[in-house]
Amino acid sequence: MLRKTAVPDEELEKGRQAALRLHDDISFRGLSYFIESYGCQMNDHDAEKLAGMLHACGYRRAEEKLKADLILFNTCCVREHAELRVFGNIGALKKRKEENPSLIVGVCGCMMQQKDVAEKLFKRFPFVDLVFGTHELHRFPALLESALNGERTLSVTQSDGEIAEGLPVERSGRFQTNVTIMYGCDNFCSYCIVPYVRGRERSRDSADILGEIKALAEAGFKEITLLGQNVNSYRGDGGQTSFARLLRMANSVEGIERLRFMTSHPKDLSMELIQTMADCKKVCNHIHLPVQSGSDRVLKRMNRGYTREKYLSLVKALRESVEGMELTTDIIVGFPGETEEDFLDTLSLVREAGFSAAYTFMYSPRNGTSAARMDEQVDKAVKKGRLERLNRLQAELLRQNNERYVGKSGTVLVEGCDRRTTPMAYGKLTSFKMVYFPGDETLEGQLKRVRITKTQSNSLLGELIEG
């Protein structure tokens, strides 16, 4: 859907003014914050924006949660029992708040957009000062100001969501980072809660995205991951700019060495995009392409919009077009109505596609989704058994996949150094494989050629190729 609704400038200005009013007093008092963030990369990136706004308000990051003057829970509703876990962790702060009444406790994130959850939480935990939804992120400094003035605030709107440009971001990485290109989702996969809590699809303008990437390149970032619930349906600039075109534009930003993106919905993966991946040197030879099931019957019930055959044809096209292409995926087992035969179809697809990693889940119902209302829920023991079988197969395929790298060389962007034994530098190949090799912190942020010498269960071992 072609939609771009911007948060009005005056709204953004209110947030900036609130941060300015708070800044001197908060920084003089040396107040600190701690953000506990749950869920996906989109949520992690929201946490970086929340941190950016807190820094603009004068806060500094606390090392430990219980030493912070402000604790913010950035919740996620996607995982099973998420509500139970978050409510438990918030409840555990009651004593801390009694000892330190000036402590500010806030809760935000997509769980707060779920029907009645924010209200329930606000009522159940009177010591929580502010609760706000994902559509209110830009209002955070103003809400915080009210909380610091002793007001309890609950601010959740059920809208399709808007785009807030120019929020400050406190990035956790130094060389790799994420840039959100679109928000929301229109797909309504029958098991998924995201479209209900994150709103309809809306794409940022390409100029705003490229401006952000250029600024990151100037700040020394080398690898960018373009983020969205379904980046393949990105339609920026009033529908004029496709994701493939955006990727070509990002590929020309000087200083950026690598581009990745996630998540890609198979039904929207175009040949234009595959060709772009093949043409653009900086676009990595890896794609995360969630398949979810290998059975056409189950894919239909999941409302995924593609068949097994279509998916496998995309895998073939990707492998034929992009050298050394690696695919990772997500798979749900035990979807309502999944038979043993359906599950065997998933196993055979996994063998055929040859994923280098699969994030596997047992189906569990999410309130408000159509799959939760389906008959034929699969018995938990059956789901568990299928998950084990799938994981065993994928582990064996991963072992074989890793073996193929031994003796080959590639370039690693060094992310850090593990000093548990001998210092080992680590980072990823363009294919998303993690490699460890002897080296120290001085290599961080550099692109280094390595030769792969051995495999480990989830990573590779290598040695530096001098010169």
Region of 190-198, 213-221, 271-279, 357-365 interacting with ligand SF4 (CB under 6 A): 190-198
Select the residue interacting with ligand SF4 from 76, 156, 185, 450 (CB under 6 A). 185
In degrees and rounded to multiples of 5, residue 449 shows phi and psi of -80, 130
Contact status: 104 vs ligand SF4 (CB under 6 A): no
Bridge partners of 434, per DSSP, are: 428
> In whole angstroms, what is the distance from residue 315 CA to residue 327 CA?
8
- What's the CA gap between 221 and 38, in Å, rounded? 25
Is 232 a binding residue for ligand SF4 by CB under 6 A? The answer is no
Q: Which stretch binds ligand SF4 (CB under 6 A): 51-59, 126-134, 180-188, 251-259?
A: 180-188
**Closer residue to ligand SF4, CB minimum distance, 163 or 460:** 163
Q: How far is CA 165 from CA 3, 49, 145, 240, in A?
A: 15, 11, 21, 19
Sheet holding 357-362, edge to edge: 286-288, 326-333, 357-362
Q: Does 194 bind ligand SF4 (CB under 6 A)?
A: yes
Does 202 bind ligand SF4 (CB under 6 A)? Our answer is no
User: Segment contacting ligand SF4 (CB under 6 A): 90-98, 189-197, 213-221, 360-368?
Assistant: 189-197
In the region spanning residues 260 to 299, those forming contacts with ligand SF4, defined by CB under 6 A, are: 265
Residue 97 or 288: the one with the smaller Cβ distance to ligand SF4 is 288
Size of residue set near ligand SF4 by CB under 6 A = 10
Binding to ligand SF4 by CB under 6 A, coded x per residue (else -) over 134-173, reads ----------------------------------------
Q: Which of 46, 52, 428 has its CA nearest to residue 222?
A: 428
Question: Could you tell me the smallest distance in angstroms from the CB atom of residue 445 to ligand SF4?
Answer: 32
- Beta carbon nearer to ligand SF4, 90 or 262: 262
Q: Please report the sign of the dihedral spanned by the C-alpha atoms of residue 244, residue 266, residue 358, residue 360.
A: positive
DSSP conformation class of 163 = B
- Residue 24 or 359: which CB sits closer to ligand SF4? 359
Q: Does 229 bind ligand SF4 (CB under 6 A)?
A: yes
Residue 353, CA distances (Å) to 204, 230, 361, 429 in order: 33, 21, 18, 20
Query: Which of 180, 230, 356, 431 contacts ligand SF4 by CB under 6 A?
Result: 230
Q: Which residue in the set 18, 86, 169, 192 belongs to the binding site for ligand SF4 (CB under 6 A)? A: 192
Of 135, 185, 136, nearest to 3 by C-alpha is 185
Residue type for 248, please? Answer: R
Q: Which is nearer to ligand SF4, 78 or 344 (CB)?
A: 78
Which residue number, 132 or 361, has a Cβ lying nearer to ligand SF4? Answer: 361
The Cα 7–Cα 9 span in angstroms is: 6
Give the one residue of 52, 166, 173, 195 binding ligand SF4; rule: CB under 6 A: 195
Near ligand SF4 by CB under 6 A: residue from 134, 187, 232, 264? 187
Residues 413-452 that bind ligand SF4 (CB under 6 A): none
Angstrom distance (rounded) from CA 105 to CA 217: 35
By beta-carbon proximity to ligand SF4, the closer residue of 290 and 427 is: 290
Task: Give me the least distance between CB of 260 and ligand SF4, in Å please.
Answer: 17
Q: How far is the CB of 303 from ligand SF4 (least distance, A)?
A: 8
Q: If binding is defined by CB under 6 A, does position 329 make contact with ligand SF4?
A: no
Strands (DSSP E) along 126-265, which ranges? 130-132, 153-155, 176-180, 182-183, 202-203, 223-227, 235-236, 241-242, 258-262
Q: Where are the beta strands (DSSP E) in 367-418?
A: 409-418
Q: What's the closest the beta carbon of residue 209 comes to ligand SF4, in angstroms?
A: 20
CA 375 distance to own-chain centroid: 31
Provide the 3-class DSSP secondary structure of residue 150.
coil
Contact 138, 11 (CB under 8 A): yes
Query: Can residue 189 be called a binding residue for ligand SF4 (CB under 6 A)?
Result: yes
Q: For ligand SF4, which is the closer residue by CB, 131 or 193? A: 193
The least distance separating ligand SF4 from the CB of residue 247, rounded to whole angstroms, comes to: 19
Q: % helix / strand / coil in the chain, to the nearest 5? A: 40, 20, 35
Applying CB under 6 A, among 188, 278, 280, 296 the residue interacting with ligand SF4 is 188
Q: Least distance (Å) from ligand SF4 to the CB of residue 283?
A: 21
Compute φ and ψ for 294, nearest 5 degrees: -100, 5
Nearer to ligand SF4, 126 or 368 (CB): 368
Q: Burial of 73 by CB count in 10 Å (0-12 exposed, 13-18 middle, 19+ buried)?
A: buried
- Residue ranges of E strands in 334-467: 357-362, 409-418, 424-428, 434-438, 447-455, 460-464
Closer of 82 and 256 to ligand SF4 (Cβ): 82
Q: Closer CB to ligand SF4, residue 187 or residue 293?
A: 187
Q: Which residues bind ligand SF4 (CB under 6 A)?
A: 185, 187-189, 192, 194-195, 229-230, 265
